[in-house]
Structure formats: C-alpha cells, structure tokens
C-alpha cells in the first residue's frame, strides 16, 4: 500500500498494534478543518521509540480525534549522531535553520553564545514545534533535541568528549576546503560528529584558538564566498551527509 503522501503526525504517546490513540484539540482541528479528513481516512503516527504506524481515523470530535492503529510501517532505528552547534541569529533565519537542520537529520541542536552573538534568548518551545513539523514533512522518525544555550567555552576544552568529531566552519586562516577534510574523514568513518557555526559576525580570534584545542576538531571553509550563518550551517550539514552521512542509504518505497 502506498502511504507516502499520507499525513504524518508526531505523537509522544507509546504506539502499538490495535491501540486507539486520542489526539488533542490541535491535531483534531488540523485533521478536520485543514485536511478535511473524515472517519475512515488514513494517517501515519510516529515517534523515535515505537517507529511509524498506519492508523485509521475512527472518530472525529470537535476537540479530539481517535486514531486506531492497524500496522507498523517502520521499526524504530537510530539516526545519525550529528549535532549542529550554532550561534543564535535573528528569529526568522534561526527558525529556518532549525527547520532545515531537522530535515537534514541532526540529532541535537546546541545553541552557542559567542562573543559576537547578538541574539541571546532561544524560545525552546517554538524551536521544538518547528522541528516537529519538519520531522513530519521529511519522513524522519525522531526529532532533534533542542538544548539550552551554552557559552562556547563550555563546549570546548575540557568538556568536549574526544569520541566526537568536530567540524568548525571558519572563513579565514588555515581552514581546509570542506571537501578535502570530509574525504579524509570518510575513510575514518566517525560515528559521532558535530558541525559548529558562528554568529553573523563570525567567531572572534580567541574563540578560534580555543576551539583548536578541542580533540578531533577540524577547521573547514565553505568556498570562496562569505555565507550567511544559516546558509553556512545548511551547507556544512549537506556536505557532511553527502560524504560521511546517511544520504547513500536507500529510501524505502512507502
């Protein structure tokens, strides 16, 4: 059965065969008034712990809806252990970055407070809602962890676990072309990685020196042009997934 274009909804509750899941007012309104869905319609429910399930709309009420689960379509499977460590930027651009990073498969988003960070507050609830919508759209099972902002020096020595490979996006200095660095790392096959991007004004010189002391840190540049902070994050994540990540995996015909 082709279900690729069936609506997907991320659900925190446990999912199992034969279970009836009650959706709240927000989901019920979306199914009924946006999608114009009626009882008997197909919907997919998913989360990282239980996988993805085919469900049937059993009952549609004004402020709730009941979904009867029929079969599991995908078992839970671990995604790439890939962090995006990024300085918060202006609201619209930061939300865009959250959305695209989720689509690109990151497992965690760690906001970083740097010397030139202008935006210091992060609305974690809003960011999570954006990540949920992006996960529903992009066919992934889990959503990235949205962490509280931390100062850059707390990510660097000695807190950085040596088992993780760090890709620091730096515009100047002796940073290597990203394709050259990733070609080397592809042979090494690191299991854990993090992309680090700075604020609109870039990293301060002392911050770059601090990150050079991090274990497994690699400094890369993203071509001859200066990229916006959100563009740099998306470009670096795309390069990683294409060379060292999961883009080579086959997509099931669901």
- Both tokens of 191, joined, read 């299991």
Which of 29, 54, 74 is the last residue before a domain boundary? 74
Same domain, 16 and 45: yes
Which of 42, 74, 106 is the last residue before a domain boundary? 74
Same domain, 171 and 155: yes
Residue 1 forms part of a structural domain = no
CA pair distance 83, 88, nearest whole angstrom: 15
* 5-24 residue pLDDT tens: 789 999 998 999 889 999 98
The pLDDT of residue 233 is 97
Same domain, 92 and 67: no
* 201-240 residue pLDDT tens: 899 999 999 998 888 899 999 998 889 999 999 999 999 9
Q: What is the mean pLDDT of the chain?
A: 90
Whether residue 45 contacts residue 21, with contact meaning beta carbons closer than 8 Å, is answered with yes
Same domain, 200 and 239: yes
Helices (H), the chain: 25-29, 91-103, 124-138, 152-155, 178-188, 205-212, 229-243
pTM, rounded to two decimals: 0.90
| Degrees to nearest 5, angle at CA 244 with 130 and 221 | 80
The answer for residues whose C-beta is within 8 angstroms of residue 82's C-beta and 6 or more apart is 105, 106, 107, 192, 193, 194, 195, 237, 240, 241, 245
Residue 252 forms part of a structural domain = no
Residue 253 forms part of a structural domain = no
Residue 250 forms part of a structural domain = no
Which of 74, 97, 129 is the last residue before a domain boundary? 74
């Amino acid at each position: 059965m082709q279900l690729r274009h069936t609506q997907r909804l991320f659900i925190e509750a446990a999912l199992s065969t034969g279970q009836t899941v009650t959706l709240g007012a927000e989901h019920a309104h979306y199914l009924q008034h946006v999608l114009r869905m009626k009882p008997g319609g197909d919907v997919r429910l998913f989360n990282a712990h239980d996988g993805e399930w085919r469900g049937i709309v059993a009952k549609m009420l004004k402020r709730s809806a009941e979904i009867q689960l029929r079969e599991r379509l995908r078992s839970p499977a671990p995604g790439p252990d890939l962090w995006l460590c990024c300085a918060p930027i202006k609201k619209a651009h930061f939300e865009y970055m959250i959305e695209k990073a989720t689509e690109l498969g990151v497992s965690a988003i760690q906001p970083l407070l740097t010397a030139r960070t202008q935006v210091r507050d992060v609305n974690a609830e809003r960011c999570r809602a954006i990540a949920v919508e992006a996960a529903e759209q992009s066919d992934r099972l889990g959503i990235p962890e949205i962490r509280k902002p931390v100062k850059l020096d707390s990510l660097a020595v000695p807190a950085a676990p040596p088992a993780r490979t760090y890709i620091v996006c730096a515009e100047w200095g002796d940073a290597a072309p990203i394709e050259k660095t990733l070609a080397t790392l592809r042979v090494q096959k690191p299991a854990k990685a993090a992309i680090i991007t700075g604020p609109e004004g870039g990293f301060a010189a002392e911050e770059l020196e601090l990150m050079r002391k991090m274990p497994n840190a690699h400094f890369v540049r993203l071509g001859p042009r200066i990229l916006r902070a959100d563009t740099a994050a998306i470009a670096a994540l795309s390069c990683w997934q294409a060379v060292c990540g999961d883009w080579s995996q086959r997509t099931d015909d669901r």
